[in-house]
Chains A and B, each alone.
Chain A
Amino acid sequence: NISVVLMTFKLSLFRFIVKRLFSTSHSSVDSKEMKKFQLLAHKWWDEEGEYAALHSMNDIRVPFIRDTLLSMSSNYHLGNPLSGIKILDVGCGGGLLSEPLGRLGASVTGIDPVEDNIRTADRHKSFDPVLAKRIQYKSSSLEEIVEESMETFDVIVASEVVEHVADLEMFIKCCSQVLKPDGSLFITTINKTQLSYVLGIVVAEKIMGIVPEGTHEWEKFIPPEELEHLLESNGFLVKTVKGMLYNPLSGSWSWTESMSLNYAVHAVKAGAQPTDTPPETDIQQPSATAGTAG
């Protein structure tokens, strides 16, 4: 009997430890953020609803991704520009970006920690026989798929995601792990400036309702310099950084010189290490392994 009691005690202790480990683990998913999106899971596909600004963002982010990839490839077919490319859409939400990428020929895997989002996305793609085959959705965080997807994807897209993650550096490291060498990473996010506080939170959320209230926290916005630094110190080469601007009157996005509000980044994962490596890479090795163990 004592052994049974000890056993159950050990089991519950084990469960307790596991639970604590998981809840304080270095996960990039923030549970508070998850709750915010859960409430709006069914609104994704209303083009004039809460997510209207994200729908119209497709008008610039899809051509940006498409043209960047086309310019990097030598043989492509204009009728199927992204054919043969495997894309991971992190934080895919209801699939707003996954679907156009799928229509352009890519094989898309969309992941999102909020199950309701994945359910909405799955149902929406199911009506289109072509998309149903090209896109796979999974309710998961980025870390959870790392082990089974090492160096699997040609492209990762993290659009309007990094301002919601808990641990950005871990997020970037995971991106690097699931990307093939020379693979592309596309990020769109919001800068941390006074302007972005006034326009991005006060006006956009509280006054004009362009973004559902409480979606963003200014503290988590990331200045492009910081993002660039994190990327470059984790094996990425930043190729492009462009400012984006939303016009609430016309409901449309455009590219702009200034990055004080929204911006987009294209980075490429460094290819295989050349043989005559400079001394710095030896120092980098230990931190890379520490990252994977963490």
Chain B
Amino acid sequence: LGHDIHFHDKKIALLEAGPRKDYDHLPDSYSNRVSSISPGSATLLSSCGAWDHVCSLRLKPFRRMQVWDACSEAMIVFEKDDLDDMGYIVENDVIMSALTKQLDAVADRVEVFYRSKAVGYTWPLPSHSCDTSPWVQVELADGRRLQTKLLIGADGHNSVVRKEAEIQNIEHQYDQSAVVATLHLSEATDNNVAWQRFLPTGPLALLPLSDTASSLVWSTSHDHALELLAMDEETFVDSINSAFWSNINHSEFIDTAGAMFRSAISLLKPSGTAVRQLPPSVAKVDPESRAMFPLGMGHATEYVQHRVALIGDAAHRVHPLAGQGVNLGFGDIACLAHHLSAAAFNGSDLGSLKHLLKFETERQRHNVSLIAATDVLKRLYSTTLAPLVLLRTWGLQATNALPPVKVRSHFSE
């Protein structure tokens, strides 16, 4: 918003709990928190000039995503026909640094309060004939008071803004945690494929960082996650390799049924079965890079109220299996910025519900289906029960054979 022409004479305050993050030079090792950035998000970041900074720091584009089941041979490959990048794996710190640089560029309009915390909110009363200020009052921990026409809550899945605004949140804790780590591959390779294998305990993803390094995101039960963190490095690496390669969960029945379906498809659609590539094997893990965090799902019943808007994880929280959490957030930003810019050009009061509701409707329509689908996928792949395995095996194989369905998935967003 600070870079939007229609916000030329507006003032924006950004409250950030953490310290300022700026890289003068990149650390040699990769951070273990990375995100898969979709092309749509990349466009948003380049519209405010941040993508150039990201490119000058570091990122890894990937062209292909191979997803397969641990319980069968079913596999689906996502890739763009024209060999464009499907997405980019970028360290979160790199994105933060790029954004910080761009914030500096509009420091006259956007004031960032680092290491600040809001301790109290005073909401405007709905009645319009009262004498108190109709704006939102925010009290900071250091005693300063700010008042604003529009408060945007981007404070994560435990959003205080959402709680204080008394917006109901539908939430569900998955009995899962995600283990992240930075891994080094056995041999250097083009490494432009993102890998994901659905194990009964949860999906395991390997995201490329460079020709020799990849980032691990392994969603599994809390207990298993704790074990993985406690293991020594060699055992940890072995678990990863065997998780990717082992066929322990296959059953003959499923394999036969799957093979039959595959031949049926190749009769109907000769090109419908893609070549299976083999994932790289892991040689070692970066010490200190292992960490875990709990997973859950959440969705706020309302994204907006008079003078309040929620974006990102404050509005919706999703399982990392689709790699879409941050991209949903970027989508929220693009949509809200668009509506606020139009409202500013119309001279409207920025906190007015009229345009905030348009943002809410647009994003809820988009987000709810994706969040629900991700939740369904998570549950579908959490079982070894034969009928469900068969269902998802055939489903995956069928989807793999139908190009339009595949490409239209959220990865092309």
Contacts and interface: CB of A to CB of B under 8 A. Distances in A.
A56 interface: yes
B123 to A, nearest CB: 15
A133 interface: no
A46 B128 CA distance: 6
Interface string A93-128: 000000111111100000000000000100110010
A284 B8 CA distance: 47
Nearest to A106: B347
Interface stretch (A22-30, A73-81, A138-146, A152-160): A73-81
B5 A78 contact: yes
Interface string B8-37: 110000000000000000000000000000
Interface in B26-50: none
B2 to A, nearest CB: 12
Given A42-B129, A47-B354, A123-B131, A100 B9 contact: no
A23 B185 CA distance: 94
B347 A79 contact: no
B345 interface: yes
A44 B129 CA distance: 9
A45 interface: yes
Interface in B303-352: 344-349, 352
Contacts of A214: none
A63 interface: yes
Interface in A236-264: none
A84 B253 CA distance: 79
B135 interface: yes
A77 B135 CA distance: 28
Q: Which of B6, B7, B135, B346 has the most chain A CB within a 10 Å cutoff?
A: B346
B140 interface: no
A53 to B, nearest CB: 13
Given A47-B354, A79-B7, A79-B8, A100 B346 contact: yes
A168 to B, nearest CB: 28
B156 interface: no
A58 B135 CA distance: 21
Contacts of A103: 344, 347-349
Contact of B8 (A59, A80, A120): A80
Contacts of B131: 123
Nearest to B131: A123
A45 B5 contact: no
B133 interface: yes
A220 B135 CA distance: 40
B110 interface: no
A270 interface: no
B347 A127 contact: no
Contacts of B346: 58-59, 62-63, 66, 100
Given A47-B353, A47-B354, A104 B347 contact: yes
B403 interface: no
B134 interface: yes
A46 to B, nearest CB: 5
A101 B347 contact: yes
A260 B349 CA distance: 31
Interface in A57-73: 58-59, 62-63, 66
Contacts of B128: 44-46, 124
Q: Which of A79, A104, A123, A130 has the most chain B CB within a 10 Å cutoff?
A: A79
Contacts of A130: 9
Nearest to A77: B8
A127 B353 contact: no
Contacts of B354: 47, 55-56, 59
Contacts of B344: 103
A78 B128 CA distance: 31
B129 A45 contact: yes
Nearest to B134: A127
Contacts of B353: 47
A80 B347 contact: no
A66 B353 CA distance: 22
A42 B130 CA distance: 10
A62 B134 contact: no
A87 B346 CA distance: 16
A55 B6 CA distance: 21
Contacts of B345: 66, 78, 81, 104
B349 to A, nearest CB: 7
Nearest to B347: A100
Contact of B9 (A56, A59, A80, A124): A80
Given A47-B353, A56-B354, A58-B346, A78 B134 contact: no
Nearest to A78: B5
Interface string B141-179: 000000000000000000000000000000000000000
Contacts of A62: 346-348
Contacts of B129: 42, 45, 120
Given A58-B346, A79-B5, A99-B349, 16 more contacts: A45-B129, A56-B354, A58-B348, A59-B346, A78-B8, A80-B9, A99-B347, A100-B347, A100-B348, A101-B347, A103-B344, A103-B348, A105-B9, A120-B129, A127-B134, A127-B135
18 contacts: A42-B129, A45-B128, A46-B128, A55-B354, A62-B346, A66-B347, A78-B5, A79-B5, A79-B9, A99-B349, A100-B348, A101-B347, A103-B344, A103-B349, A104-B347, A123-B131, A124-B128, A130-B9
4 closest Cβ pairs, A-B complex: A79-B8, A100-B347, A45-B128, A103-B347
